[in-house]
Homo-oligomer: A and B are copies of this chain.
Amino acid sequence: MQQQFNEVQIPDLLLPLLPASPGSSSDDYEGPFKFKILIDQHRTRNSWIYSPILNKVFIRVADPFPIDFKWNPQVNNLYVRATPLFSQPQHAQELVTRCIPHTRATYETNRDVPQYIWDHVIRCQSVNAEYYGNKEEKRHLNVLVPLGVPRTGMNTVRLLYSFMCQNACHTGMNQKPFEVVFTLEDEGGTVYGRKKLSVKVCSCPKRGKEKEENDFFKKMSFHGAALPNKRRKTKKVGKKSFTVISALDTRQYTAKIRTSSKQNLIFLLKRAYNIMAGDLLRYGPNEELEDCLYDLEKQLGKL
């Protein structure tokens, strides 16, 4: 049930509305090259899961994760740097490094890998990847990759990243959430664009996503347990009709849309959800909006 909700696929056109990290979207900027990162969540058979609402990827350790980079105009001497940083302000200055056991020569993922890479949580599969930062000098570890140019017929360049420690690694990240900051740079290190992506590396990506999305909704609807009483009833007439209450301008509009199939109903509910989720994130906390989202969540949960 809740699961179904989590399968929501946000249309690409809505993606730009979602901040890199909820509440701190101001850190993102596309800059003169309209720098974008795209996550191909429609691909099935992914071993990872992306939560658009959290702008967060849930992935297993060492699994390859593709990111498509987009920039315009197409100059060919740009680089993208991926730097992991702890998300919580109180830990933001701590270095994100691999844990002690994962940093050992005997660990299988370090075999045939140069030692200076062992400490890096983020690896990029590109042969041109260069690893920067220094644990002793307290400079954040990161990996820099030349973007080159998109293959003919494409307007993006895809890179494969992998995360070499779990968030739970005791002597490493030790449960602290982190995000990857992608910066578009030139050879001189000048930054032209920045995009953030939160990541959770764990054994059960699906479980983690569901948990964190639920927490997010609970936090958003800060009236918590009081909500169920306030919830508007969904009328069930004929096939199925449903109520959408918009709060963009404080007034509420009710949409009654008789849908022709369950699939269409779900599609519409999700669509409505995504639109209002975008609004919520752009305009900040708003009780009416949260009510609508909560309502939709419950409706989707029951389907």
Contacts and interface: CB of A to CB of B under 8 A. Distances in A.
Interface in A150-193: 170-171
A203 to B, nearest CB: 13
Contacts of A104: 100
Nearest to A106: B100
A100 B172 CA distance: 13
Contacts of A101: 99-101, 170-171
Interface in A62-119: 99-101, 104
Nearest to A169: B170
Interface of A: 99-101, 104, 170-171
Given A100-B104, A101-B171, 6 more contacts: A99-B101, A100-B100, A100-B101, A101-B101, A101-B170, A170-B170
A101 B104 CA distance: 11
8 contacts: A99-B101, A100-B100, A100-B101, A100-B104, A101-B101, A101-B170, A101-B171, A170-B170
A94 B99 CA distance: 24
A100 B170 CA distance: 11
A100 B102 CA distance: 10
Top 6 closest pairs, chain A to chain B, by CB: A101-B171, A100-B101, A100-B100, A100-B104, A101-B170, A101-B101
A236 B35 CA distance: 79
A118 to B, nearest CB: 14
A104 B101 CA distance: 11
Contacts of A171: 101
A227 to B, nearest CB: 35
Contacts of A99: 101
A217 to B, nearest CB: 32
A99 B100 CA distance: 10
A101 B102 CA distance: 11
Nearest to A99: B101
A113 to B, nearest CB: 18
Nearest to A170: B101
A100 B101 CA distance: 6
The CB with the most chain B CB atoms within 10 A, among A99, A104, A170, A171, is that of: A171
Contacts of A170: 101, 170
A116 to B, nearest CB: 20
Nearest to A100: B101
A136 B100 CA distance: 20
A104 B171 CA distance: 11
A101 B98 CA distance: 12
Nearest to A103: B100
A288 to B, nearest CB: 45
A103 to B, nearest CB: 9
A117 to B, nearest CB: 19
